[in-house]
């Protein structure tokens, strides 16, 4: 079974970006070299703030939807 990660990064401009992946180190590298999400292009480099493991993509996607609805000041606390 493949492990999925929900992750939160901080962009160079101070904004947050949350996403999911099954290859966390490679995904962070993709964000930093401009081949990640459209949102992070031009906002790099990004810094990984937190990540959380999930047993499958479905659960990771549900968690991503939840965190994206949270106000900025509560996003980091989601990982506690």
pLDDT at 69: 98
Class for the domain spanning 4-79: alpha beta
Write the DSSP assignment of the chain as a string of letters.
Answer: ---EEEEEEE-TTS-EEEEEES-HHHHHHHHHTT-S-GGGTTSPSPEEEEEEEESSHHHHHHHHHHHHHS-HHHHGGGG-
pLDDT digits (tens, 9 = 90+) for 9-52: 999 999 999 999 999 999 999 999 999 999 999 999 999 999 99
**Number of other CB atoms surrounding residue 9 within 10 Å:** 25
Q: How sure is the predictor about 60, in pLDDT bands with cuts at 50, 70 and 90?
A: very high
pTM of the model: 0.95
pLDDT at 7: 98
């Amino acid at each position: 079974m493949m492990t999925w990660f929900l992750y939160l990064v901080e962009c160079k401009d101070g904004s947050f970006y949350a996403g999911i992946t099954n290859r966390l180190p490679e995904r962070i590298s993709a964000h930093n070299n401009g081949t990640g999400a459209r949102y992070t292009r031009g906002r790099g480099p990004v810094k990984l703030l937190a990540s959380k493991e999930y047993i499958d993509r479905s659960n990771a996607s549900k968690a991503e939807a939840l965190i994206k609805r949270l106000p900025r000041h509560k996003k980091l606390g989601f990982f506690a």
